[in-house]
Amino acid sequence: MPDRSRGSRPAPPGKVYGAPGAGYSGHISLLTAIALLGLWFLVTNTGMVKPLFLPSPQAVYQKFIQASVDGVANSTLWEHTQASLSRVFGAFALACLTAIPAGILMGVSRVARGVLDPPIEFYRPLPPLAYLPLVIIWFGIGEFPKIFLIYLAIFAPMAIAARAGVRSVSIEQIHAAYAMGGSRLQIIVHVILKAAMPEIFTGMRIGIGVGWTTLVAAEMVAADRGLGFMVLNAAQFLASDTVIMGIIVIGAFAFGFDLLVRQLEKILVPWKGRI
């Protein structure tokens, strides 16, 4: 029994001992980021690492300002960012419109699973660079093959996550819905789809991460602007400050979108972890 003599409040049901890993960790992440930044300052400003291999934070910041104002690789930083964002989010939107329905269809139909599962499972482990030459042969070197390459990389994890979400639905919930007179379509929309939403959001987070990692490969195809192109172009001239600046910008956008998807998940799937 809780000790009421000292004004202690009773623990919420199920949280007397606490689940493994439960609790707020934001302050730990903040301290970790500060420690890494401090280590970066230390090893670069004391000469422990040569600027060619790891430029100082001041040099990267100066390159960021220069790229924003004067530009780098024949375009400003905003023009590179705009080109990359349009490719990644265009491919992501297309994947959401096709991969999620495909995954749900694979989960509710054995015929669809038999048709779609082999090609998805075959190409899913392949690195995008493996089928990049084929994409160039088929579609040329315009803007479409860049978006299509990123789309293929995003499609597989999103479709598999949606299928896994459908397959994880409790059979008791489905039987209860049938017992209450629900039709097959109503059960798919109101029971299966809602129960699969957490997995679908997880697939979206994984998919957009894969899309950003594929961006550099996609912008190898005759690109003249883009964050991946900027990084590759700088690497040819050993401009490590530009390379690290580009990596930080890509990571910042990827992390920001991941936080956005997490927030949307909290709003749209409030029952996650409660049922």
Q: Which residue has the tokens 């080109």?
A: 83
Domain count, the chain: 1
The SS3 assignment for 101 reads helix
Q: With respect to residue 20, please indicate whether it lies within any of the assigned structural domains.
A: no
Q: Residue 72's closest CA among 217, 249, 218?
A: 249
Q: With respect to residue 229, please indicate whether it lies within any of the assigned structural domains.
A: yes
Q: With respect to residue 15, please indicate whether it lies within any of the assigned structural domains.
A: no
How far is Cα 121 from Cα 129, in angstroms, rounded to an integer? Answer: 17
How far is Cα 220 from Cα 224, in angstroms, rounded to an integer? Answer: 9
Q: With respect to residue 67, please indicate whether it lies within any of the assigned structural domains.
A: no
Judged on CB neighbours under 10 Å (0-12, 13-18, 19+), 194 is middle
Q: With respect to residue 2, please indicate whether it lies within any of the assigned structural domains.
A: no
Q: Residues in the chain, how many?
A: 275
CATH number at residue 129: 1.10.3720.10
- pLDDT one-digit tens code per residue, 200-236: 999 999 999 899 988 888 887 777 888 988 998 888 8
Task: Say how many C-beta atoms besides its own lie within 10 A of residue 248's C-beta.
Answer: 14
Q: With respect to residue 102, please indicate whether it lies within any of the assigned structural domains.
A: yes
Domain enclosing residue 83, as ranges: 79-268
Structure tokens at 26: 């934001």
Q: With respect to residue 37, please indicate whether it lies within any of the assigned structural domains.
A: no
Q: Residue 157's closest CA among 198, 100, 101?
A: 100
Tens digits of pLDDT across the chain (275 residues): 455 545 455 555 555 555 666 677 778 888 998 999 899 889 988 888 888 888 999 999 999 999 888 888 888 999 999 999 999 999 999 999 999 999 999 988 889 999 999 999 998 888 888 888 888 888 888 888 899 999 999 999 999 999 998 888 877 777 787 788 778 788 877 788 888 888 999 999 999 989 998 888 888 777 788 898 899 888 888 889 999 999 999 999 998 998 898 888 888 887 776 65
Structure tokens at 59: 């040099």
Structure tokens at 153: 């990389």
pLDDT value of residue 186: 80
Q: With respect to residue 22, please indicate whether it lies within any of the assigned structural domains.
A: no
Structure tokens at 147: 């978006």
The SS3 assignment for 106 reads helix
Our measurement of the distance from residue 196's CA atom to the centroid of its chain's CA atoms, rounded to an integer in Å, reads 18
